[in-house]
Structure 1
């Protein structure tokens, strides 16, 4: 059993490593910090709850069952961190978020203190590594301690379910999918872990023996619930990395064209740089190159290409992208050949023309420009184009 619990803790904890791989930057983001704290505390709960850990803690302290309040206190800390995560995830004014976070910490701090006090008042001299909850279900003070930790964890999971349901109606995409995974994990925790614990304890109170619910069913359900929640925490970030990888690849034609004129400093290379970091550097470098190429823009090339695309049936947006791609390719050729900037005259001769890619936020504009470069318009490929008839072959 200890091996299974340790494995769950390892998988759970690795999620935080993926999210907290750049500590300096991550520490500036309360959402990242609270997410990693919740995942790490969840992993520590599994480590503390393993029978091997409980036996070691009891032996080192010389106090039978000392591992119980340690595990329950860690579970309360995890429940508090879940609420803090939800508060930061939901957002709002800084003062409102701070008040709610401090309120959650204060409430669960009192709960953890009560658990320690109740354990010190109880008589629990028989070491129980697997069935402490049911074995001491009728013992004064231990009974209250067990109920307190369960109620505190139940409150956190119920709040999590309510927030996931309400917020899931307001968002879409990866965030909604992540919220649904967290909701399933929270419901599995409520039904598979907590309901099993409550049922086994109540059965003890009524003279029945359903200890298997607490000792056999509850632990794997808790592990599965935690893994689902961690997947929900990680999913939006993982999908964002996947999208960044796709955008990074789609920008390749544009980067291949302009990289020779970019003066952006190169970042440290290495396999550990995730796609979002690579994409961010490529965006900065491309924008730097576009600024360097602006004096070489020949607006006669742009206007001719745009007019041809419009006559061929392209939409105004598609025609603009095709025209800007042609102008950019011409500018890159001139800059590489060290030619003099063109003298096109007119209101755009001062280099103030703004490409569509620089007018929109995000990567979408650059990706559209890169795809226009990858598939340049031609007289034969544009819709509605008319090709010259071939001369008849004379034998």
Structure 2
């Protein structure tokens, strides 16, 4: 179940196609995916299948321990990108983390190859081989690597939590700390205690076989939620803003789609129902811009000059005066395309649409109430 939920999180966190690649986004999805792999490889059914497929008893062990070490590495890298900072510093710390844990993973594989571990153990390998040469070192190495990442993450999160962070970021930090605490106490400490007990001649295998796995699963889900929640929160806020803008642009789309010189394809309800508001907004803006560019033959550049001069006379800055000129030509062009214009148009040779569409939509909503002679003053 934990593997499925984390894999689902990796899919849900994919970026829209038009969104630029983000190192934080890649690190978030990679961490969720690697965490899912950890629980997949550590499942007894998977371990048995790997052992049978390779013909090597306990071959699933280095896969599991390697993926746990990779998860430790990805968690540190995710936190590095989450905190941000100078790009060169982020790259340097990321490379150092990859080098350290890459070396650890290679060491795990080499030690397993040197060990004599012919008896298949699917649930109690850590304690069963706790005193076996090379297997002992392999088990100790992966546990220490995981414990080190937990300590580093906890220290950084505690230091960051002392800063003035609020909202979902504060909640995310608390979830990360709670998940890391559960992972450190429920998984790492339980495993270490059981292994050390074997070294001393005692049997506390129940800590390794019954306590550690569910604690690791729950801890991973909690701290993964801590990393993901702030990002989902900001994404939800962006989608709400996209929905607001989409609704604001609908009147403008209604005004231009029927007067465009060529039909503009509008997505059907069936095509829209599964799309996020940001995707809907992107399509709507593209359609509006296409329709407006088709109306350039109805634009009157003389009217644009008049609107520009009037804006400058009112004390507007040149940029705002240019926006007023563009807005006046577009609104007058919509009138002319609808058959309500006066006199022939004098279209510009070149026209580049730069006006904010929401501002234009607000002006178009006033189009029905305004007298024709008022258009040049907008």
Q: Compute the TM-score of the two structures, normalised by the length of structure 2.
A: 0.72
Structure 2 spans left out of the alignment, 5+ residues? 308-323, 343-353, 367-378
Of 107, 115, 121, 1:128 maps to 121
Which residue matches 1:40? Answer: 33
Superimposed CA distance per residue, residues 40-97 of structure 1 (whole angstroms, 9 cap, x where no aligned partner): 1111111110001111111122221111111101111111111121222222233222
Which residue matches 2:240? Answer: 246
265-274 or 153-162, which deviates more: 265-274
Determine if contact 1:133/1:146 at 8 Å carries over to the other structure: yes
User: Matched residue of 1:182: which SS?
Assistant: helix
Q: Distance in 2 between matches of 1:290 and 1:274?
A: 25
Q: Distance in 2 between matches of 1:11 and 1:157?
A: 22
Q: Distance in 2 between matches of 1:230 and 1:85?
A: 11
Q: Distance in 2 between matches of 1:104 and 1:79?
A: 10
| 1:144 maps to 2:144 | no
Residue 133 of structure 1 deviates from its aligned partner by 0.8
Of 184, 193, 203, 1:190 maps to 184
Determine if contact 1:181/1:228 at 8 Å carries over to the other structure: yes
Give the RMSD, CA atoms, in angstroms. Answer: 4.3
Which residue matches 1:261? Answer: 256
Which residue matches 1:10? Answer: 4
User: Matched residue of 1:92: which SS?
Assistant: coil
Residue 123 of structure 1 deviates from its aligned partner by 1.8
**4+ aligned runs moved over 6 Å, structure 1:** 262-268, 283-299
Q: Distance in 1 between matches of 2:143 and 2:283?
A: 48
Residue 176 of structure 1 deviates from its aligned partner by 2.9
Which residue matches 1:159? Answer: 152
| 1:227 maps to 2:221 | yes
Inter-CA distance 202–9: structure 2 relative to 1 (3 Å threshold)? same
Residue 216 of structure 1 deviates from its aligned partner by 0.7
163-172 or 98-107, which deviates more: 163-172
247-256 or 141-150, which deviates more: 247-256
User: Matched residue of 1:194: which SS?
Assistant: helix
Q: 1:369-384, aligned counterparts within 5 Å?
A: none
Q: Compute the TM-score of the two structures, normalised by the length of structure 1.
A: 0.69
Q: Distance in 2 between matches of 1:280 and 1:178?
A: 30
Of 193, 208, 223, 1:199 maps to 193
